[in-house]
């Protein structure tokens, strides 16, 4: 397939040049766009393996662009933001981002996160789909249906869109029901040893999953918190 292609969406030319230089040095092909309105039309014409998306763009917010991409493509999205509040990170994950990195960033960490997301995406797409007795085609929990082969989730008749890692986390818990997993165990299983981050990311993704599958995310009945221990999916 050749080099992995990274789409850099950044309006600050100095930052985009730094991102491009380090990613190119790491053997990754890049393309830069400076306006949010350019992103979706470009994705319809060209193939990319990951999107590096600045949150604050002059014509369109990164949140809005992220949602537009998620409606069309399943591709890793790494959000670059100067905002470090947890509510902003939560909003980014809610829009469909797979990961985030805060400005100012260490270029080496940026490359590490990009590579980790690319590896994780490949593992999930080509490894998780292997059939086995423990990996059925469909998992049913109440009115929730998880299609493990098709990477789709339905609540009733309505399809619910899940970014890559949210789906992986939900699928793992659904395939191991009624078992309590700690944040650290889930982080290691879904994100892997080589991921640059911490287990607090798990909590953000759990909250996002609850908003999609629970009738009342404030009083979860399917994906339950076991205080002091971790999380359990009830079946």
Shared domain check, 122 and 149? no
Secondary structure class of 77 (helix, strand, coil): strand
Residue stretches of the chain with pLDDT short of 70: 1-2, 84-86, 123-136, 193-199
How many structural domains compose the chain? 2
Q: Does residue 17 fall inside a structural domain?
A: yes
Shared domain check, 123 and 15? yes
Q: Which residue, of 76, 95, 127, is where some domain finishes?
A: 127
Shared domain check, 143 and 109? no
Question: Please, which residues bridge with residue 130 across strands?
Answer: none
User: Which domain CATH number covers 35?
Assistant: 3.40.50.2300
pLDDT of residue 193: 60
Residue 133 sits at the vertex; the CA angle it makes with 129 and 135, to the nearest 5 degrees, is 35
Shared domain check, 13 and 80? yes
Residue 138 sits at the vertex; the CA angle it makes with 73 and 195, to the nearest 5 degrees, is 50
Shared domain check, 168 and 143? yes
Q: What gap in Å lies between CA 22 and CA 179, rounded to an integer?
A: 42
Shared domain check, 99 and 172? no
pLDDT of residue 30: 96
Q: Does residue 133 fall inside a structural domain?
A: no
pTM above 0.85, yes or no: no
Shared domain check, 120 and 14? yes
Shared domain check, 41 and 84? yes
Q: Does residue 36 fall inside a structural domain?
A: yes
Number of CB atoms found within 10 A of residue 74's CB = 15
Shared domain check, 142 and 122? no
Reported as half-sphere exposure (CB side, CA atoms, 13 A), residue 98 has a value of 31
User: Which domain CATH number covers 157?
Assistant: 1.10.10.10
Q: What gap in Å lies between CA 146 and CA 168, rounded to an integer?
A: 11
Range of the structural domain that residue 119 is part of: 5-127
Shared domain check, 121 and 38? yes
pLDDT of residue 226: 93
Question: Please, which residues bridge with residue 108 across strands?
Answer: none
Q: Which residue, of 100, 127, 154, is where some domain finishes?
A: 127
Q: Does residue 190 fall inside a structural domain?
A: yes
Q: Does residue 70 fall inside a structural domain?
A: yes
Shared domain check, 195 and 112? no
Q: Does residue 132 fall inside a structural domain?
A: no
Q: What gap in Å lies between CA 97 and CA 133, rounded to an integer?
A: 32
pLDDT of residue 127: 54
Q: What gap in Å lies between CA 152 and CA 166, rounded to an integer?
A: 11
pLDDT of residue 8: 96
Q: Which residue, of 76, 98, 127, is where some domain finishes?
A: 127
- Confirm if 194 and 119 have CB atoms less than 8 A apart: yes
Shared domain check, 169 and 103? no
């Amino acid at each position: 397939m050749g080099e992995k292609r990274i789409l850099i969406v950044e309006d600050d030319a100095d930052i985009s040049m730094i991102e491009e230089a380090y990613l190119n040095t790491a053997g990754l092909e890049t393309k830069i766009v400076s306006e949010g309105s350019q992103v979706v039309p470009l994705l319809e014409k060209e193939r990319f393996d990951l999107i590096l998306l600045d949150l604050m763009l002059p014509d369109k917010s990164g949140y809005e662009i992220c949602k537009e991409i998620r409606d069309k493509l399943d591709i890793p999205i790494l959000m670059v933001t100067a905002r470090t509040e947890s509510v902003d990170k939560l909003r980014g994950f809610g829009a469909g981002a797979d990961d985030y990195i805060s400005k100012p960033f260490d270029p080496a960490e940026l490359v590490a996160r990009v590579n980790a997301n690319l590896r994780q995406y490949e593992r999930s797409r080509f490894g998780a789909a292997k059939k086995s007795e423990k990996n059925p085609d469909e998992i049913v929990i109440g009115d929730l249906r998880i299609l493990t082969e098709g990477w789709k989730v339905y609540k009733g008749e309505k399809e619910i869109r899940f970014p890559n890692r949210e789906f992986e986390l939900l699928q793992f818990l659904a395939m191991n029901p009624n078992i309590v997993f700690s944040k650290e165990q889930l982080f290691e299983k879904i994100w892997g040893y080589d991921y640059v981050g911490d287990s607090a990311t798990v909590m953000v993704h759990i909250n996002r999953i609850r908003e999609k599958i629970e009738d009342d995310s404030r009083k979860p009945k399917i994906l339950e918190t076991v205080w002091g221990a971790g999380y359990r999916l009830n079946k």
